[in-house]
Chain A
Amino acid sequence: MLQLLWIVPALPAAGFVVLLLLNRHLSRRATALIGAGSVGLSAVVAILIAVSFITSPPPGDAYRQVLWTWFDTGGLAPQIAFYLDAMSVVFMVVITFVGFLIHLYSTEFMERDEGFTRFFMYMNLFVASMLVLVLADNLLLLYLGWEGVGMCSYLLIAFWQKDVQNVYCGRKAFIVTRVGDTALIVGLFLLFTQLHTLEIQPLMAGAAKNWAAGSGVAVAAAALLLGGAVGKSAQLPLQTWLPDAMAGPTPVSALIHAATMVTAGVYLIARTNVLFTLAPDVRLAVAIIGTVTLLYACFSALAQHDIKRVLAYSTMSQIGYMFLALGVAGWSAAIFHFMTHAFFKALLFLAAGVVIEALGGEHDIFKMGGLRRKLPTAFWAFIIGAASLSALPLITDGFYSKDLIIETSLGAVDGNAWLWLGALAGSLLTSIYAFRLVFVVFFGEQQTPVTLHPRWRMKLPLVVLSVLSVVGGFVWLPGWMGGFHPFETFLDTALPVTQTVAGSFAYTGVAALLTSLIAVVGVALATVWLVESRAALARFAARPTPHDVQTFWLNGWGFDWLYEHVFVIPVKWFARVARGDLVEPAFSGIAWLNLQAWRALSASQNGQLRVYIGVAGVGLAVIVAFVVLR
């Protein structure tokens, strides 16, 4: 069964090729069938492989499949090879399964779009690249997937390319992430030069064997990889592209900018956890970046009024939680949160897509309202998603994973109270903005008429994801709930176990109660402010200081402004100044000198025969005189 591994990425890739070649010879139905079907089949194969992997684990709990050697020169011989262990199984299944649901949803969502085929082409290519990323056996192949998903992200954000604004957003996403990617590839140079391989497992073994903890190379390597992860996962300081990425179609946001691609950074760090263990300073940086980003994104989310931008900031914030977990060596906790987040965030985006589509493309939440009776499916899906996002206790999958991260942030050996407090504060803010969204969009007065109701291909994914968002967390229950944790056991075959402080406050019932309470308090606050006293809130928000703060948060704390002035404007200025080429004057200067010399000399060549004869005669006389009189 495991031998079929290569088929998993090959199917969507084949879907891409078929769509590319047959393009306009295909009916919409055939396109949808190929586009969604290839991913669906891939999901089936992935699940079969996962079952086989779990029931009869391969030796060493990992399976490696070599397809061919990419190239081989100068000691560098990366292979096109896939590596399957518990972590890649989780990623593979989530990507193909959630990917399939979103493809299915898209067949209805995009059905009137003129770029239908192009859309599925890009989506299939994306799924293939993402699978290559998580299955890659060496860092160079991982980088291939890494750039592939970045490119698909660009193509899909800029999908409605007639509007230059969308294209701008796509370019921004690609360029900002590529800044991070540059760090990543430099990290690859360093790793290869030092350890003479790019194959992940030998690389990690080599690093652990040859490098001392905290040594310069280890820190440099980890920091460079972190640079790549930060760019891809939209963490500070390279987070600015994600809110703008919402310019793409909503299924794209659900798949790429929520469920899968943006978590690639989490995957990378978890995959190279050995390096990060060797560089405690960098790991602390990961935790701090995660915490700061999650708070930053929460505040920004509070001020947004574009439904997708709220969700974008919430994605950023949830990935902040994953980074926090990684930073305190809670590797499995991060992967757990990746999985639950993929379910509920995809759900939220898809539900938001239903709302947007129903209102004829309206994004502004204040022009929605009162939709709970008109769009019941979307409403319930959104409630479940928001509850999960806010980590409401017991009945949501987000609770189990986020609770785990919060407790690890304090209880792990590397955890500390500041991180814990940050995570708790984030949890409070998350519930507030999540339920602000619910109340503003689905309660109150209806502002815009509903013109379109979803049919089964859009409803089915919502239902499935809703169910998963409820039960998805039951695979890893906290200790005080009986300690049923097959997910952890499974991941432990691939990831190191988190070292915890025995008897830490984090693992007491009080701490668990506190975490649960905070989420509930957040929901209560949102209810009070937005349902009971919305007018008062509006009055408060209109006052100068809160208004300025809100604008500041709305604009993502001025990062765009800063980067615009520090990077974009100088480069543009230089480009404008240098347009005619700065070196050119030197060469045209030589040409100009020649021209002047030519002018001077050609003045003597006046065509007057008599002058020529005279000069020739005088010249001859001078020469003769010189020879004779010398």
Chain B
Amino acid sequence: MILLWYILIPAVAAPLAWLVSRSRPDLARWVALAGTALPLALVTWQWVSQAGALKAAFVAHGPGAAGLVQGTWLADVHATWIAPLGISFFLAEDGLTLIMLVLTFAMGLLAVLASWRGITARVGFFHFMILWTTAALAGVFLSLDLFLFYFFFEMMLIPMYFVIALWGHERRVYAAIKFFIFTQASGLLMLIAILALYFIHGRATGVYTFDFTQLLGTQMPSGTAFLLMLGFFAAFAVKLPAFPLHTWLPDAHTEAPTAGSVILAGVLIKIGAYGMIRFMVPLFPQAVYDFRTIGMILAVIGIIYGAIMAYAQTDLKRLVAYTSVSHMGFVLLGIFAWNTLALQGVVVQIVCHALSTGALFILVGTLQDRIHTRDMAKMGGLWAVAPRMGGTAMFFALASLGLPGLGNFVAEFLILVGTWQVSRWAAVLGAVGLVVATVYALWMMQRAFQGQETHALRFDDLVPRETAMYAALIAALVVIGFYPQPLIATARQTVTAAQQMTAGSPLSPEAASAAQTMIVDGATADDGQ
């Protein structure tokens, strides 16, 4: 039942925030704060108290268990919804879900905090939208019925559209429509794929259902599977975003208000990664394997191209947006590598990218609130004006370039070392992306914060509310950098289960490592002579 609360609390808080704002706009902020902090506390409590259960689930159903069976969930809700069509209200939670939920509510909380001063127009409606998005996101991560998943997937789109279109910057309507069309069009492709899967499974077995656990392993011709996989891939690749479907992201990020950027970068685009791990690869392992080369090429292009594009920008927020393209390239790479190392890296990357990029977006937002521009040509030397802000920016710039000791490094290292075992060139090129990351991160620092301060800008340094926010994010990144094990342990069962679902296909690590060993053995045998 606890799962319902995760959706209900923000969903109920949303209209409440709107209602109270009519009499007292500021109260809406507190309602929103409660509406995100409460589920955050709840999910954290669940995480802490269920740590043992997670481990047990791994031991009991871990290596050797045949796929994902009911009972490996930490909690689940299974109710019939539209029975004639085989649609059920199926929510379930495992380690990955737990992480995604923590992220969702933490980013929601940050979004509320970040707009405490910035948002003054239609306060109630704004927080309604933020809470509604949060509720829908929780639903996305919890639902295991494909129809329900699609329902939440679409539900989250609308408030996000309004957040960008109503509270955004100069070209907000353009950006909002672009965001909407990209997501909607690719979402429809996924819907078609879901329906096709539904009918194929129904015809073959006579059971018409949208239940993901039952749809697993549906037999179909490989051509059909490939097309359906592409349907899912389109939706998730747009969300992620993967090259070349990324162009909505710089616009949406740049134009969105800070809170919108935080939720976009922190959670929304992670749906792409989550969906691929949870649904796409387990449903179509063979097709994903056939697509692997192309997928990895796209990922590598995304890493390097995104980094160069970040370097090319003059708008600070756009720069940060392009770094997301680069970082999500690593995620895509890890998913296509599909071994334990890479997948664990993906999970860590999901979390750390949310923290570091979310922080950078908040930083750009606070800067814009103060100096009313995002153009780096009009900045320079800001460190001298606001040293705390400069130091904070330096920290997150370094996190962005993958400095060891911070979480992002652990993630990128795991992904690349996992990728190396599948494709050496992809790993090498991904590592080259780290060099380009250095270029853009340091370039950003130089243009905005270092050098001579020439524009006579005077503004306040970080206030305590902001300092506290950044301190929490910095602490989280450092802790993950030196001790990511809790995260890894939490996701372990999900990763193992997901891999077992693909056990029979050439995608499975066993198949890959067998091939690898053969090569190595061959090589050493040759060398030994």
Contact = CB atoms under 8 A, between A and B. Distances in A.
Tell whether any CB of A sits under 8 Å from a CB of B in the complex.
yes
Contacts of A147: 403-405, 409
Contact of A578 (B312, B394, B428): B312
Given A164-B452, A578-B309, A216 B523 contact: yes
Among B409, B451, B488, B516, the most chain A Cβ lie within 10 Å of the Cβ of B451
Nearest to B446: A167
B308 A217 contact: no
Given A73-B488, A161-B383, A167-B446, A575 B524 contact: no
A143 B485 contact: no
A113 interface: no
A8 B520 CA distance: 41
A578 B308 contact: yes
A182 B523 contact: no
A20 to B, nearest CB: 8
A215 B527 contact: yes
Given A147-B403, A174-B438, A211-B527, A571 B308 contact: yes
A119 to B, nearest CB: 13
A178 to B, nearest CB: 5
Contact of A185 (B244, B431, B453): B431
7 contacts: A74-B339, A75-B340, A140-B413, A158-B450, A162-B381, A171-B446, A215-B523
Interface string B476-489: 00000011110010
Given A182-B431, A578-B308, A586 B404 contact: no
Given A73-B492, A76-B414, A185-B416, 19 more contacts: A70-B485, A71-B485, A72-B485, A74-B344, A143-B404, A163-B451, A164-B446, A167-B446, A167-B450, A175-B438, A178-B438, A185-B413, A185-B431, A186-B420, A193-B420, A215-B528, A216-B523, A578-B309, A581-B309
Nearest to B390: A161
A189 B417 contact: yes
Give the 7 A-B residue pairs with the shortest CB-CB distance, closest first. A215-B527, A74-B340, A575-B312, A144-B404, A74-B341, A189-B420, A161-B450
B484 A192 contact: no
A148 B405 contact: yes
B434 A171 contact: no
Interface string B438-470: 110011011001111100000000000000000
Most buried by A among B403, B413, B443, B492: B413
B414 A73 contact: yes
Interface string A563-589: 000000001001110110101101100
A338 B147 CA distance: 67
A360 B516 CA distance: 63
> DSSP class of B's interface residues: helix, strand, loop or mixed?
helix
Contacts of B451: 161-164, 167
Given A80-B482, A167-B451, A188-B417, A178 B524 contact: no
Contacts of B383: 161
A80 to B, nearest CB: 7
Nearest to B434: A182
Nearest to B485: A71
B83 interface: no
Contacts of A154: 442
A529 to B, nearest CB: 42
A54 B471 CA distance: 43
Given A162-B381, A192-B417, A574-B308, A217 B524 contact: yes
B403 A216 contact: no
Contacts of B296: none
A68 B483 contact: yes
Interface string A465-500: 000000000000000000000000000000000000
Interface string B107-140: 0000000000000000000000000000000000
Contacts of B523: 215-217
A521 interface: no
A164 to B, nearest CB: 4
Contacts of A584: 247
A404 interface: no
Contacts of A155: 394
